[in-house]
Amino acid sequence: MKQAFLIPIICLLLVIPSWPVGAAEQQIAIQTIQAEFTQEKHLKILKKPLISTGIFVFAAPQSLRWEYHSPIPSILLMHDGSIQKYTEQDGKFVADRGMRLDAMQVVLTEISNWLDGRFRENDIFTVTFPDQHTVLLLPKDAMMANLINKIELKLADQQGLLDSVTIFEGPEAYTHMSFSERILNKNIPASVFNSP
Amino acid sequence: MKQPFVLIALLTILSSCASGKHQAPPALTSSQARQDNAVCGSIFPQDKWQFVHSLEFTRIDGIGTTVIGITNLDENALHTALLTIEGFTLFEADFYNDERFEVHRAVPPFDNPNFAKGMMRDIRTIFRPPQGMLILGVTNAPDTVCRYTDDNGRITDVLPGSNDYQDDCWQIRRYSAEQDIDLSVIGKSCLDIMSAIIPEHLELHSYGVAGYTLKMKLLSADRL
Protein backbone atom coordinates (compact mmCIF):
# COMPACT_ATOMS: atom_id res chain seq x y z
CA MET A 1 0.00 0.00 0.00
CA LYS A 2 2.83 2.37 0.76
CA GLN A 3 4.17 2.27 -2.75
CA ALA A 4 0.83 2.52 -4.41
CA PHE A 5 0.76 6.26 -3.97
CA LEU A 6 -0.26 7.27 -7.42
CA ILE A 7 -3.76 5.98 -7.72
CA PRO A 8 -4.76 7.00 -4.19
CA ILE A 9 -3.81 10.53 -5.10
CA ILE A 10 -5.71 10.43 -8.32
CA CYS A 11 -8.72 8.98 -6.65
CA LEU A 12 -8.48 11.49 -3.87
CA LEU A 13 -8.92 14.15 -6.50
CA LEU A 14 -11.84 12.32 -7.90
CA VAL A 15 -13.71 12.16 -4.67
CA ILE A 16 -12.84 15.37 -2.97
CA PRO A 17 -15.16 17.55 -5.04
CA SER A 18 -18.06 15.92 -3.25
CA TRP A 19 -16.58 16.49 0.17
CA PRO A 20 -18.51 18.88 2.38
CA VAL A 21 -17.30 21.85 4.35
CA GLY A 22 -16.53 20.86 7.90
CA ALA A 23 -16.22 17.37 6.62
CA ALA A 24 -16.06 15.65 9.93
CA GLU A 25 -19.08 17.39 11.32
CA GLN A 26 -21.58 18.11 8.57
CA GLN A 27 -21.60 15.88 5.57
CA ILE A 28 -24.42 16.65 3.20
CA ALA A 29 -26.13 14.07 1.04
CA ILE A 30 -24.56 14.23 -2.37
CA GLN A 31 -25.99 11.60 -4.66
CA THR A 32 -24.31 12.85 -7.80
CA ILE A 33 -21.99 15.61 -8.83
CA GLN A 34 -20.52 16.61 -12.16
CA ALA A 35 -18.15 19.40 -13.01
CA GLU A 36 -15.56 20.68 -15.41
CA PHE A 37 -11.96 20.92 -14.31
CA THR A 38 -8.79 22.67 -15.40
CA GLN A 39 -5.48 21.18 -14.35
CA GLU A 40 -2.24 23.18 -14.34
CA LYS A 41 1.00 21.26 -14.00
CA HIS A 42 3.86 23.42 -12.80
CA LEU A 43 7.37 22.05 -13.04
CA LYS A 44 10.73 23.77 -12.96
CA ILE A 45 11.69 22.70 -16.46
CA LEU A 46 8.36 23.70 -17.99
CA LYS A 47 8.49 27.03 -19.79
CA LYS A 48 4.77 27.40 -19.20
CA PRO A 49 2.32 25.35 -17.16
CA LEU A 50 0.94 22.27 -18.85
CA ILE A 51 -2.80 22.78 -19.03
CA SER A 52 -5.23 19.87 -19.09
CA THR A 53 -9.00 20.11 -19.18
CA GLY A 54 -11.85 17.70 -18.71
CA ILE A 55 -14.93 16.74 -16.81
CA PHE A 56 -15.82 14.38 -14.00
CA VAL A 57 -19.07 12.73 -13.00
CA PHE A 58 -19.58 11.03 -9.66
CA ALA A 59 -22.55 9.09 -8.30
CA ALA A 60 -22.69 7.66 -4.80
CA PRO A 61 -21.51 5.32 -3.62
CA GLN A 62 -18.72 4.36 -5.99
CA SER A 63 -19.39 5.34 -9.58
CA LEU A 64 -17.05 7.70 -11.30
CA ARG A 65 -16.11 9.02 -14.69
CA TRP A 66 -12.94 11.15 -14.80
CA GLU A 67 -12.35 12.34 -18.33
CA TYR A 68 -9.55 14.39 -19.83
CA HIS A 69 -10.41 16.18 -23.04
CA SER A 70 -6.97 17.67 -23.61
CA PRO A 71 -4.09 17.43 -24.18
CA ILE A 72 -4.44 13.63 -24.14
CA PRO A 73 -8.00 12.34 -24.20
CA SER A 74 -8.40 9.65 -21.55
CA ILE A 75 -11.17 8.30 -19.36
CA LEU A 76 -11.07 6.57 -15.99
CA LEU A 77 -14.24 4.67 -15.18
CA MET A 78 -15.26 3.10 -11.88
CA HIS A 79 -18.56 1.29 -11.54
CA ASP A 80 -19.92 -1.76 -9.74
CA GLY A 81 -16.53 -2.62 -8.35
CA SER A 82 -14.72 -2.59 -11.65
CA ILE A 83 -12.27 0.00 -12.88
CA GLN A 84 -10.95 0.67 -16.32
CA LYS A 85 -8.83 3.34 -17.88
CA TYR A 86 -9.05 4.25 -21.55
CA THR A 87 -6.69 6.37 -23.58
CA GLU A 88 -7.37 7.65 -27.06
CA GLN A 89 -5.20 6.02 -29.67
CA ASP A 90 -5.65 6.61 -33.37
CA GLY A 91 -8.97 8.28 -32.81
CA LYS A 92 -10.60 5.70 -30.57
CA PHE A 93 -10.49 4.91 -26.88
CA VAL A 94 -8.42 1.86 -26.04
CA ALA A 95 -8.36 0.16 -22.65
CA ASP A 96 -5.08 0.74 -20.83
CA ARG A 97 -3.69 -2.76 -20.45
CA GLY A 98 -0.78 -1.55 -18.39
CA MET A 99 -2.84 -1.01 -15.26
CA ARG A 100 -3.01 -3.40 -12.33
CA LEU A 101 -6.70 -3.32 -11.60
CA ASP A 102 -6.53 -5.32 -8.41
CA ALA A 103 -4.71 -2.43 -6.80
CA MET A 104 -7.35 -0.04 -7.96
CA GLN A 105 -9.94 -2.11 -6.19
CA VAL A 106 -8.12 -1.37 -2.96
CA VAL A 107 -8.31 2.31 -3.71
CA LEU A 108 -12.04 2.07 -4.12
CA THR A 109 -12.25 1.01 -0.52
CA GLU A 110 -10.50 4.22 0.41
CA ILE A 111 -13.00 6.17 -1.59
CA SER A 112 -15.95 4.53 0.06
CA ASN A 113 -14.43 5.32 3.44
CA TRP A 114 -14.30 8.98 2.61
CA LEU A 115 -17.82 9.01 1.24
CA ASP A 116 -19.03 7.39 4.40
CA GLY A 117 -17.54 10.21 6.42
CA ARG A 118 -14.45 8.33 7.58
CA PHE A 119 -12.13 10.86 6.11
CA ARG A 120 -10.08 11.19 9.28
CA GLU A 121 -9.41 7.49 9.29
CA ASN A 122 -7.37 7.66 6.12
CA ASP A 123 -4.25 5.52 6.36
CA ILE A 124 -2.28 7.66 3.98
CA PHE A 125 -2.80 11.26 5.11
CA THR A 126 -3.15 13.31 8.25
CA VAL A 127 -5.99 15.77 7.79
CA THR A 128 -6.13 19.26 9.28
CA PHE A 129 -8.36 22.26 8.74
CA PRO A 130 -6.15 25.40 8.90
CA ASP A 131 -9.15 27.64 8.24
CA GLN A 132 -12.79 27.43 7.28
CA HIS A 133 -12.07 27.06 3.60
CA THR A 134 -8.93 24.94 3.64
CA VAL A 135 -8.24 21.26 4.18
CA LEU A 136 -4.61 20.19 4.37
CA LEU A 137 -3.49 16.63 3.82
CA LEU A 138 -0.02 15.67 4.97
CA PRO A 139 1.38 12.22 4.21
CA LYS A 140 1.95 10.01 7.22
CA ASP A 141 4.64 7.92 5.59
CA ALA A 142 8.13 9.34 4.99
CA MET A 143 8.45 7.64 1.65
CA MET A 144 5.18 9.09 0.55
CA ALA A 145 6.30 12.52 1.77
CA ASN A 146 9.24 12.34 -0.59
CA LEU A 147 6.81 12.10 -3.44
CA ILE A 148 3.88 14.18 -2.24
CA ASN A 149 4.73 16.99 0.21
CA LYS A 150 1.14 17.96 0.86
CA ILE A 151 -2.28 18.38 -0.69
CA GLU A 152 -4.27 21.53 -0.18
CA LEU A 153 -8.00 21.61 -0.76
CA LYS A 154 -9.84 24.90 -1.10
CA LEU A 155 -13.51 24.67 -0.26
CA ALA A 156 -16.19 26.67 -2.02
CA ASP A 157 -18.65 28.90 -0.26
CA GLN A 158 -21.42 26.53 -1.20
CA GLN A 159 -21.40 23.72 1.26
CA GLY A 160 -20.28 20.44 -0.18
CA LEU A 161 -18.27 21.78 -3.06
CA LEU A 162 -14.63 22.36 -3.72
CA ASP A 163 -12.95 25.20 -5.57
CA SER A 164 -9.52 23.70 -6.10
CA VAL A 165 -7.01 21.02 -5.23
CA THR A 166 -3.26 21.60 -5.24
CA ILE A 167 -0.82 18.71 -4.99
CA PHE A 168 2.68 19.74 -3.99
CA GLU A 169 5.38 17.32 -5.11
CA GLY A 170 8.40 19.41 -4.18
CA PRO A 171 10.07 22.73 -4.86
CA GLU A 172 8.59 24.30 -7.98
CA ALA A 173 6.60 21.16 -8.71
CA TYR A 174 2.88 21.13 -8.12
CA THR A 175 -0.43 20.39 -9.79
CA HIS A 176 -3.33 22.78 -9.37
CA MET A 177 -6.84 21.72 -10.27
CA SER A 178 -9.80 24.05 -10.25
CA PHE A 179 -13.44 23.11 -10.70
CA SER A 180 -16.31 24.90 -12.38
CA GLU A 181 -19.80 24.40 -13.80
CA ARG A 182 -20.70 22.08 -10.96
CA ILE A 183 -24.06 20.36 -10.95
CA LEU A 184 -25.35 18.55 -7.88
CA ASN A 185 -27.73 15.61 -7.59
CA LYS A 186 -28.75 15.39 -11.21
CA ASN A 187 -29.95 12.00 -12.40
CA ILE A 188 -27.08 10.31 -14.25
CA PRO A 189 -27.53 7.08 -16.24
CA ALA A 190 -25.28 4.15 -15.36
CA SER A 191 -23.96 4.03 -18.90
CA VAL A 192 -21.90 7.12 -18.14
CA PHE A 193 -19.82 5.01 -15.79
CA ASN A 194 -19.36 1.82 -17.73
CA SER A 195 -18.47 2.76 -21.27
CA PRO A 196 -16.09 5.28 -22.78
CA MET B 1 -0.08 -3.44 -4.37
CA LYS B 2 3.66 -3.99 -4.45
CA GLN B 3 4.32 -1.45 -7.15
CA PRO B 4 2.58 1.59 -8.59
CA PHE B 5 0.49 -0.31 -11.04
CA VAL B 6 0.00 2.48 -13.48
CA LEU B 7 3.69 2.24 -14.23
CA ILE B 8 3.85 -1.49 -14.67
CA ALA B 9 3.71 -1.27 -18.41
CA LEU B 10 6.83 0.82 -18.53
CA LEU B 11 8.63 -1.52 -16.19
CA THR B 12 7.71 -4.52 -18.20
CA ILE B 13 9.12 -2.85 -21.24
CA LEU B 14 12.48 -3.37 -19.66
CA SER B 15 11.91 -7.05 -19.17
CA SER B 16 9.92 -7.92 -22.24
CA CYS B 17 11.17 -10.48 -24.66
CA ALA B 18 11.07 -9.52 -28.26
CA SER B 19 12.84 -11.05 -31.14
CA GLY B 20 13.29 -9.58 -34.55
CA LYS B 21 14.81 -10.49 -37.82
CA HIS B 22 18.42 -9.62 -38.31
CA GLN B 23 18.69 -6.34 -40.16
CA ALA B 24 22.16 -5.29 -41.19
CA PRO B 25 22.92 -1.80 -42.45
CA PRO B 26 22.35 -1.55 -46.21
CA ALA B 27 25.25 -1.29 -48.59
CA LEU B 28 25.92 2.21 -49.80
CA THR B 29 27.22 3.48 -53.05
CA SER B 30 29.18 6.67 -53.14
CA SER B 31 27.15 9.82 -53.12
CA GLN B 32 27.89 12.86 -55.18
CA ALA B 33 26.48 14.93 -52.40
CA ARG B 34 28.80 17.19 -50.49
CA GLN B 35 30.72 15.36 -47.81
CA ASP B 36 29.47 17.53 -45.00
CA ASN B 37 26.86 17.06 -42.42
CA ALA B 38 24.66 20.04 -43.24
CA VAL B 39 21.91 17.94 -44.73
CA CYS B 40 22.42 15.18 -42.19
CA GLY B 41 22.21 17.54 -39.23
CA SER B 42 19.18 19.36 -40.56
CA ILE B 43 16.73 16.99 -38.92
CA PHE B 44 18.04 17.75 -35.44
CA PRO B 45 16.75 20.88 -33.70
CA GLN B 46 19.35 23.56 -33.19
CA ASP B 47 19.56 25.92 -30.21
CA LYS B 48 17.35 25.65 -27.17
CA TRP B 49 13.93 24.05 -27.40
CA GLN B 50 11.23 22.63 -25.21
CA PHE B 51 9.12 19.82 -26.57
CA VAL B 52 6.09 18.30 -24.90
CA HIS B 53 4.87 14.99 -26.31
CA SER B 54 2.33 12.36 -25.51
CA LEU B 55 4.26 9.09 -25.24
CA GLU B 56 2.52 5.86 -26.03
CA PHE B 57 4.61 2.88 -24.90
CA THR B 58 3.71 -0.51 -26.28
CA ARG B 59 5.40 -3.82 -25.64
CA ILE B 60 5.56 -6.40 -28.33
CA ASP B 61 2.65 -8.23 -26.69
CA GLY B 62 0.49 -5.11 -26.80
CA ILE B 63 0.77 -4.14 -23.15
CA GLY B 64 1.38 -0.44 -22.75
CA THR B 65 0.39 2.91 -21.37
CA THR B 66 0.48 6.59 -22.22
CA VAL B 67 2.37 9.33 -20.40
CA ILE B 68 3.47 12.90 -21.08
CA GLY B 69 7.11 13.61 -21.89
CA ILE B 70 8.89 16.95 -21.54
CA THR B 71 12.25 17.41 -23.24
CA ASN B 72 14.36 20.55 -22.98
CA LEU B 73 17.34 20.86 -25.28
CA ASP B 74 20.25 23.11 -24.50
CA GLU B 75 23.88 23.19 -25.51
CA ASN B 76 25.23 20.88 -22.85
CA ALA B 77 22.36 18.73 -21.74
CA LEU B 78 18.94 17.26 -22.33
CA HIS B 79 16.51 17.86 -19.49
CA THR B 80 13.58 15.49 -19.33
CA ALA B 81 10.52 14.69 -17.30
CA LEU B 82 7.80 12.06 -17.55
CA LEU B 83 4.35 12.76 -16.18
CA THR B 84 1.19 10.76 -15.91
CA ILE B 85 -1.80 12.15 -17.78
CA GLU B 86 -3.08 13.09 -14.34
CA GLY B 87 -0.01 15.26 -13.81
CA PHE B 88 2.04 13.20 -11.40
CA THR B 89 5.80 13.45 -11.99
CA LEU B 90 7.23 9.98 -12.56
CA PHE B 91 10.75 10.78 -13.64
CA GLU B 92 12.94 13.84 -13.98
CA ALA B 93 16.57 13.83 -15.07
CA ASP B 94 19.34 15.70 -16.85
CA PHE B 95 21.39 13.91 -19.49
CA TYR B 96 24.73 15.56 -20.23
CA ASN B 97 26.64 15.38 -23.47
CA ASP B 98 29.52 13.51 -21.83
CA GLU B 99 27.26 10.52 -21.00
CA ARG B 100 26.74 11.57 -17.40
CA PHE B 101 23.21 11.81 -16.14
CA GLU B 102 21.59 13.11 -13.00
CA VAL B 103 18.23 11.79 -11.86
CA HIS B 104 16.25 14.29 -9.79
CA ARG B 105 13.14 12.23 -9.29
CA ALA B 106 12.34 8.64 -10.09
CA VAL B 107 9.23 6.93 -8.88
CA PRO B 108 9.62 3.14 -8.78
CA PRO B 109 10.11 1.40 -11.16
CA PHE B 110 11.75 4.35 -12.89
CA ASP B 111 14.49 4.36 -10.27
CA ASN B 112 16.15 1.50 -12.11
CA PRO B 113 19.40 2.92 -13.62
CA ASN B 114 18.75 0.91 -16.76
CA PHE B 115 15.63 2.92 -17.33
CA ALA B 116 17.58 6.19 -17.22
CA LYS B 117 20.22 4.82 -19.56
CA GLY B 118 17.62 3.57 -21.99
CA MET B 119 15.80 6.86 -21.92
CA MET B 120 19.05 8.72 -22.51
CA ARG B 121 19.73 6.54 -25.52
CA ASP B 122 16.29 7.13 -26.97
CA ILE B 123 16.12 10.88 -26.60
CA ARG B 124 19.68 11.37 -27.76
CA THR B 125 18.95 9.35 -30.86
CA ILE B 126 15.93 11.51 -31.57
CA PHE B 127 17.29 14.93 -30.74
CA ARG B 128 21.09 14.87 -31.11
CA PRO B 129 23.28 14.26 -34.17
CA PRO B 130 25.12 10.94 -33.91
CA GLN B 131 28.78 10.80 -33.01
CA GLY B 132 31.41 9.24 -35.25
CA MET B 133 32.90 9.41 -38.71
CA LEU B 134 30.41 10.52 -41.34
CA ILE B 135 30.09 9.35 -44.89
CA LEU B 136 27.27 10.06 -47.33
CA GLY B 137 25.95 7.39 -49.62
CA VAL B 138 22.95 6.08 -51.50
CA THR B 139 21.13 2.80 -51.00
CA ASN B 140 19.59 0.70 -53.75
CA ALA B 141 16.18 2.11 -52.78
CA PRO B 142 17.55 4.75 -53.55
CA ASP B 143 17.72 6.72 -50.32
CA THR B 144 20.36 9.22 -49.39
CA VAL B 145 22.01 8.06 -46.18
CA CYS B 146 24.25 9.88 -43.72
CA ARG B 147 26.20 7.08 -42.10
CA TYR B 148 27.95 7.70 -38.78
CA THR B 149 30.31 5.03 -37.47
CA ASP B 150 31.60 5.44 -33.93
CA ASP B 151 34.80 4.15 -32.37
CA ASN B 152 33.07 0.91 -31.32
CA GLY B 153 31.86 0.09 -34.80
CA ARG B 154 28.27 1.05 -34.10
CA ILE B 155 26.52 2.55 -37.12
CA THR B 156 23.80 5.16 -37.15
CA ASP B 157 22.14 5.89 -40.46
CA VAL B 158 20.28 9.16 -40.83
CA LEU B 159 17.92 9.36 -43.79
CA PRO B 160 17.05 13.01 -44.12
CA GLY B 161 14.40 12.30 -46.76
CA SER B 162 13.09 14.89 -49.10
CA ASN B 163 12.44 17.47 -46.41
CA ASP B 164 9.21 18.30 -48.15
CA TYR B 165 7.35 18.26 -44.85
CA GLN B 166 5.28 15.24 -45.81
CA ASP B 167 4.82 12.02 -43.82
CA ASP B 168 7.93 9.98 -43.09
CA CYS B 169 10.03 13.08 -43.45
CA TRP B 170 13.14 11.44 -41.99
CA GLN B 171 14.42 8.24 -40.46
CA ILE B 172 17.18 7.20 -38.10
CA ARG B 173 18.43 3.61 -37.83
CA ARG B 174 20.95 2.49 -35.27
CA TYR B 175 22.95 -0.72 -35.59
CA SER B 176 24.91 -2.54 -32.93
CA ALA B 177 28.60 -3.32 -33.21
CA GLU B 178 27.42 -6.74 -34.44
CA GLN B 179 25.78 -4.96 -37.37
CA ASP B 180 22.23 -5.70 -36.28
CA ILE B 181 19.58 -3.03 -35.95
CA ASP B 182 18.81 -2.04 -32.37
CA LEU B 183 16.81 1.17 -32.77
CA SER B 184 14.88 2.98 -35.45
CA VAL B 185 13.04 6.29 -35.42
CA ILE B 186 10.69 7.69 -38.03
CA GLY B 187 9.76 11.36 -38.01
CA LYS B 188 6.36 11.95 -39.57
CA SER B 189 4.27 14.94 -40.56
CA CYS B 190 7.09 17.40 -40.14
CA LEU B 191 6.18 20.98 -39.36
CA ASP B 192 8.15 24.11 -40.08
CA ILE B 193 8.30 25.76 -36.68
CA MET B 194 10.44 28.87 -36.53
CA SER B 195 12.58 27.57 -39.39
CA ALA B 196 13.14 24.20 -37.72
CA ILE B 197 11.87 20.88 -39.06
CA ILE B 198 9.85 19.41 -36.22
CA PRO B 199 8.01 16.09 -36.61
CA GLU B 200 4.46 16.14 -35.33
CA HIS B 201 4.70 12.40 -34.86
CA LEU B 202 7.67 10.21 -33.97
CA GLU B 203 7.71 6.45 -33.94
CA LEU B 204 10.58 4.72 -32.21
CA HIS B 205 11.18 0.98 -32.32
CA SER B 206 13.64 -0.65 -29.97
CA TYR B 207 14.65 -4.12 -31.09
CA GLY B 208 16.12 -7.11 -29.34
CA VAL B 209 15.39 -8.71 -26.00
CA ALA B 210 13.78 -5.57 -24.56
CA GLY B 211 11.89 -4.51 -27.63
CA TYR B 212 9.19 -1.87 -27.50
CA THR B 213 7.52 0.81 -29.54
CA LEU B 214 7.20 4.41 -28.54
CA LYS B 215 4.77 6.62 -30.41
CA MET B 216 5.20 10.29 -29.70
CA LYS B 217 2.76 13.03 -30.63
CA LEU B 218 3.92 16.62 -30.39
CA LEU B 219 1.79 18.66 -28.00
CA SER B 220 3.91 21.81 -28.00
CA ALA B 221 7.26 23.10 -29.25
CA ASP B 222 8.77 26.28 -27.85
CA ARG B 223 12.13 27.92 -28.27
CA LEU B 224 13.72 28.61 -24.92
pLDDT tens by residue, A45-99: 999 999 999 998 888 877 889 899 999 999 988 888 788 889 998 889 988 876 5
> What is the spatial distance between Cα A130 and Cα B26, in angstroms, rounded to a whole number?
68
pLDDT of residue B102: 94
Q: Do B92 and A45 touch (CB under 8 A)?
A: yes
A57 assigned to some structural domain: yes
pLDDT of residue B37: 62
pLDDT of residue B173: 95
pLDDT of residue B92: 95
Higher-confidence residue of B103 and A19: namely: B103
ipTM > 0.85 for the complex: no
Structural domains counted in chain A: 1
Range in A21-25, A34-38, B111-115 with the lowest mean pLDDT: A21-25
Structural domain of B43: 5-223
By Cβ distance, the residue of A3, A46, A101 closest to B3 is: A3
By Cβ distance, the residue of B3, B89, B222 closest to A47 is: B222
Q: A101 contacts in B (CB within 8 Å)?
A: 5
A1 assigned to some structural domain: no
Q: Do B89 and A7 touch (CB under 8 A)?
A: no
Structural domains counted in chain B: 1
Q: How confident is the model at residue B214 (pLDDT cuts 50, 70, 90)?
A: very high
Q: Do B3 and A104 touch (CB under 8 A)?
A: no
pLDDT at B184 over 80: yes
A133 assigned to some structural domain: yes
* Mean pLDDT across B42-50: 91
Q: How confident is the model at residue B41 (pLDDT cuts 50, 70, 90)?
A: confident
Q: Do A10 and B89 touch (CB under 8 A)?
A: no
pLDDT at B197 over 90: no
What's the first-to-final CA gap in chain B, in angstroms? 40
Q: Do B86 and A10 touch (CB under 8 A)?
A: yes
By residue count, chain A amounts to 196
Distance from CA of B218 to the nearest CA of A (A): 10
Distance from CA of B214 to the nearest CA of A (A): 13
CB atoms within 10 A of CB B161: 20
Structural domain of A89: 6-194
Domain with residue B81: its CATH number is 2.50.20
* Mean pLDDT across A23-50: 81
By Cβ distance, the residue of A9, A45, A97 closest to B79 is: A45
Range in A128-137, B6-15, B170-179, B199-208 with the lowest mean pLDDT: B6-15
How much is the mean pLDDT over chain B?
84
Range in A108-112, B57-61, B200-204 with the lowest mean pLDDT: A108-112
User: By CA distance, what is B87's nearest residue in A?
Assistant: A41
Q: A43 contacts in B (CB within 8 Å)?
A: 70, 81, 83, 89, 92
Binding-site residues on chain B for chain A (CB distance < 8 A): 1-10, 12, 50, 52, 54, 56-57, 62-66, 68, 70, 72, 79, 81, 83-89, 92, 105, 107-108, 219, 222, 224
Domain with residue A131: its CATH number is 2.50.20.10
pTM for the model: 0.83
pLDDT in tens, B59-91: 887 788 889 999 999 998 999 999 988 888 989
Q: Do A3 and B86 touch (CB under 8 A)?
A: no
Look at residue A85 and give its three-state secondary structure: strand
pLDDT of residue B78: 95
By Cβ distance, the residue of B9, B70, B89 closest to A98 is: B9
Averaging pLDDT over each range in A29-38, A107-116, B115-124, which range is the top one?
B115-124
How much is the mean pLDDT over chain A?
76
By Cβ distance, the residue of A72, A96, A147 closest to B107 is: A147
The percent of residues in chain A predicted with pLDDT above 90, rounded, is: 25
